[in-house]
Structure 1
């Protein structure tokens, strides 16, 4: 069974994802986590502390993803695009919850979200040797993620294995040709 702290963060994520930032009051989070308000305040004395906790969670999930990306035998570009489908994973949930806060202008959430996006881009650039190629790959993956995360259930179809294989062929082409173009400069 998850600790009270983890249940509270899970509930905060759930409310942000399903109902948005305005609905994520301290009272609503406590009720959803099945803890008293005092129990919530023991772990998170303010909503800012909840945001900090969510930021730490997102940072931890992202660090693990960066490790997996660096170690992937198919390479970081293929990994990034291949894993850019919303799967409702802990990383996906933390990303969407933090994005909800960032969209509402929450400065800490925007900074956290921006920092993680830069880390992914930098990791791709380190492996691919070109910021432009890394950015092209990241935008392909981000587009897939956006499509899956925000349009699922409204007519958007999940990528088939054949479509993903074809897209990964395009990724290979971008990496190969982009690398050649960068070397010509």
Structure 2
């Protein structure tokens, strides 16, 4: 069973994803986590403390993802595109929750979100040797993720394995030596 602190943070994340920032009141988070408001305040004395903890969670999960991206035998570009699907993982949930805060103009959320985006782009650029190609690969992956995360169930579809393979072939074309020199 998760600790009270983790349950509280999980509840904050879930409320942000499902209902948005306005619904993520301290009272709603405490109720969802099945703790008293005093128990919530013991671990997180303010909503800002919850945002900070969510940011730390997201940065840690993103750092792990960056390690996996760098170590992937097919390379970071293929990894980035191939894993740009919403699977409701811890990273997915933290990303969507932080995006909800960033969309509302929350400065710390915007800073954390921007940092993660920069780190992924730097990882791709380092592997590909071109800022432009790295940005194209990142935008391809981001578009896939956006489609999967925000339009699930609305008529959009998940990529079939054939469609994903075709996209990965485009990634290979983008990172071919002839393209990078152009």
Deviation of 1:182 after TM superposition, in Å, equals 3.9
Partner of 1:145: 145
Partner of 1:86: 86
1:180 aligns with 2:178: yes
Give unpaired runs (5+ residues) of structure 1: none
TM-score by length of 2: 0.98
Distance 1:136 1:130 in 2: 10
Q: What whole-Å deviation, never above 9, does each CA across 1:109-167 have from its counterpart, x for those lacking one?
A: 00000000000000111111111110000000000000000100100111111110111
TM-score by length of 1: 0.96
Partner of 2:35: 35
Deviation of 1:72 after TM superposition, in Å, equals 0.2
Confirm or deny: 8 A CA contact 2:174 2:180 kept in the other structure.
Answer: no
Moved over 6 A (4+): none
Distance 1:41 1:159 in 2: 43
Matches within 5 A, 1:135-174: 135-174=135-174
Cα gap change, 1:182/1:162 in structure 2, threshold over 3 Å: closer, same or farther? closer
Partner of 1:24: 24
| Aligned-residue RMSD, C-alpha | 0.8
SS in 1 for 2:85: coil
Partner of 2:6: 6
Q: What whole-Å deviation, never above 9, does each CA across 1:12-70 have from its counterpart, x for those lacking one?
A: 01000000000000000000000111111111000000000000000000000000000
Distance 1:163 1:2 in 2: 38
